[in-house]
Amino acid sequence: MDLAGRCHGSRLALAFSVRSLDDADLKASERAALLQCIATPDREFREIAARNGVDRERLQDLWFDLFVRPQSRNAL
């Protein structure tokens, strides 16, 4: 994530990590928001969260847990 709060990440790594959405306990709105982060990395977390009715902090936590630091999620 950059200073503007945008959803950045390696697209190749994310392509493989999308499978983790199936294993995660997510609401439909959270899943939709995460998919929008992948599809539109130039948008900000707050914009995507608001559009999907998801708390921005929750969306960022999910993003980092599932895509940026997935190994720490498995360690818990």
- What are the pLDDT digits (tens) for 2-33? 444 666 555 555 555 677 787 788 999 999 99
Would you say residue 47 lies in a domain?
yes
Model confidence at 1: pLDDT above 50 = no
Site of tokens 């306990």? 25
Would you say residue 63 lies in a domain?
yes
Would you say residue 22 lies in a domain?
yes
Higher pLDDT, 38 or 60: 60
What is the domain range of residue 68?
11-75
Asked if 48 and 34 count as a contact pair (C-beta separation under 8 A), the reply is no
Give the per-residue pLDDT at 66: 84
Higher pLDDT, 18 or 50: 50
Give the per-residue pLDDT at 32: 94
Half-sphere exposure of 20 (CA within 13 A, CB side): 18
Torsion of CA 55, 61, 67, 70, to 10 degrees: -150
Q: How far is CA 13 from CA 8, 60, 62, in A?
A: 11, 17, 16
Asked if 28 and 36 count as a contact pair (C-beta separation under 8 A), the reply is no
Would you say residue 6 lies in a domain?
no
Would you say residue 1 lies in a domain?
no
Report the domain count for the chain. 1
Would you say residue 5 lies in a domain?
no
